[in-house]
Structure 1
Amino acid sequence: MNYARMVIEKEAPEEYGYDRIRFNLSESSIADQKLSDMGLSLPDLTLFYGEHRGDRELRALVAAQDDGLSPDDVLVTAGAAGALFIISTALLSERDHLAVVRPNYATNIETPRAIGCAISYIDLDFDDGFAVDVERVAAGLRPNTKLISVTCPHNPTGTTMG
């Protein structure tokens, strides 16, 4: 696989430097912080690698939200990027097609691209209030479309769908 970084990743605050950004109105990450800076003191905190699928008690709480699920049906990830990577690599192959409403998260574009998946883009338009046009999405589908990627609430515009 050949992962190509998107421009938005290269311009991320982590790379550009938080100290160089005066007003950050759209980025979802934050500068590194210490627990003591937030008034927290956790002297007995044990840090460890953890369970690969997530803490069993947490998975049980999540599973309890839906009848018929068990903790073994739940996978907890350490962030959205890991979960999105798992979704793409589990559902898509080089024989499949993906329709992406964009802008979208880099992981939802670059992971399928690295797999060799065909991708069609449905670009949102500022002049239309970044509204998703269902007919345009439908027109972007192919017989081998396996996944349609839409973010909601949409990042970075904040728009939502009814």
Structure 2
Amino acid sequence: MAKIPPFDVEQWMDKYETIPGVLNVAETCCSSISVQDLTRFNTRQNAPAPLDLSTRLTYGAIRGSDELRRNIAALYEHGSSSLPFSPDSVIVTQGAISANHLVFYSQIGAGDHVICVFPTYQQLYSIPKTLGAEVTLWELKEENGWVPNVDALEGLVKANTKMIVINNPNNPTGAIIPTSILAQIVGVAQKHDIILFSDEVYRPLFHSISAGHAPPSVVSMDYKKTIVTSSMSKAWALAGIRVGWVASPDEGIIKDITVARDYTTISVSRIDDQIANYALSPEVRPGLIARNLELAKTNLELLDQFVKDHASVVSWVRPVAGTTAFMKFKIGDKLAEDEEFCKHLLDTTKVMLLPGSKCFGHGETFKVFVRIGYVSETAILKAGLRQLSRYVKKYSLK
């Protein structure tokens, strides 16, 4: 097994986000809420509390409670797939980060080949490499709106290709893979009998897509060898409960992941399971996602106006989903180098952004990009953009 490389995005966040007075506009979760806040979204009369305080704190249901897995399964029931999908198709994990790890640990090994979109969350290409797999990066292009090129994908497939990894909506760009392109990717996977794994942790935060045009989950697309992961952290504003999941219509894949999971964690906290179940219940889920979509729309307009106000020195592909955007800044007549820019910005203004090449696409390809997270509290984003505006005027317009 190869040595595990540093997880750069987490290292960067750990190092800088606790600086006193930092304006953290690198955060990727919708502005977090409390359990008390959660109760305000419940439309049921005389609704039970999110927590049953009489519950004995045993290990609980090993794969996640039936109620929670039923509510998670309901998130995937609206596609066109004829494949059966039920609570048995879902395993609850400690966050999406654990879910992703279990997918690779159970499915990938030495001699396998993995194709992964790029830029993306580092875990998605670093972990299979540490497991001995060959990893080919399927590069997304800014000029294509960060939408993957399926013709390029066909050229990357090898005889030993075991898995294609996508991230939809994409972190860090905020782009989506449209339904027509997603169908082509499914077709490539099906043609070559390859597992298609989609990290969908930002689903269903499709804040800038008209009704009916959001892409489906890959487990809703009539191909059995599909896997998705997600969590309560990003779109659901509940990172603190550390609940995620793996879902697949393939019983063999679910069995493999269940076996692997026994070596990592027996179960999730019964308290966390109850809160997640409450949040995803039919009475609470619509109000919660509506709150987060509205926050995303409000904050994205603020960020869009910032880009327009500084169009001579700031550029981007406007995100349509999720909570992040990939941006470029000019210093004088040159594009700013990402890590140097982020450190200087933090030192002089306490505004925290993330460097693109260090955290999402190692090497030179994304060295002029930085990631911003814009679905934090609106007041924090406003304060951060004010400072960023002052910085841009001082250092860029020379």
Band the TM-score falls in, shorter-chain normalisation: 0.7 to 0.9
Deviations 1:95-126 (A, max 9, x none): 10000111122221121111111000112122
Higher relative contact order at CA 8 Å, sep ≥6: structure 1 or structure 2? 2
Q: Could you say which structure has the higher helix fraction?
A: 2
**Which residue pairs with 2:389 in the alignment?**
none
Which of the two has higher C-alpha Rg?
2
Residue 76 of structure 1, CA deviation: 1.5
Residue 151 of structure 1, CA deviation: 0.7
Matches within 5 A, 1:119-158: 119-158=135-174
Partner Cα distance (1:9, 1:16) in 2? 10
Gaps of 5+ in 1: none
The one-letter code sitting in structure 2 at the alignment partner of 1:160 is: I
Instruction: Give the alignment's TM-score, normalised by structure 2.
Output: 0.35
Q: Could you say which structure has the higher strand fraction?
A: 2
**Which residue pairs with 2:126 in the alignment?**
110
SS in 1 for 2:115: strand
**Which residue pairs with 1:4 in the alignment?**
5
SS in 2 for 1:110: helix
Residue 20 of structure 1, CA deviation: 5.2
**Which residue pairs with 1:27 in the alignment?**
27
The one-letter code sitting in structure 2 at the alignment partner of 1:101 is: V
SS in 2 for 1:11: helix
Cα contact 1:99–1:119 (8 A) shared by 2:
yes
Confirm whether residue 17 of structure 1 aligns to residue 17 of structure 2.
yes
Distance 1:8-1:47 versus aligned 2 partners, 3 A rule: farther
Partner Cα distance (1:102, 1:143) in 2? 21
Cα contact 1:5–1:110 (8 A) shared by 2:
no
**Which residue pairs with 1:76 in the alignment?**
92
**Which residue pairs with 2:64 in the alignment?**
54
Cα contact 1:85–1:111 (8 A) shared by 2:
yes
Partner Cα distance (2:166, 2:88) in 1? 27
Distance 1:124-1:61 versus aligned 2 partners, 3 A rule: closer
Instruction: Give the alignment's TM-score, normalised by structure 1.
Output: 0.77
Gaps of 5+ in 2: 40-48, 179-398
- Alignment identity in percent? 27
SS in 2 for 1:108: helix
Distance 1:43-1:144 versus aligned 2 partners, 3 A rule: closer
Partner Cα distance (1:154, 1:39) in 2? 27
Cα contact 2:7–2:123 (8 A) shared by 1:
no
Residue 60 of structure 1, CA deviation: 4.1
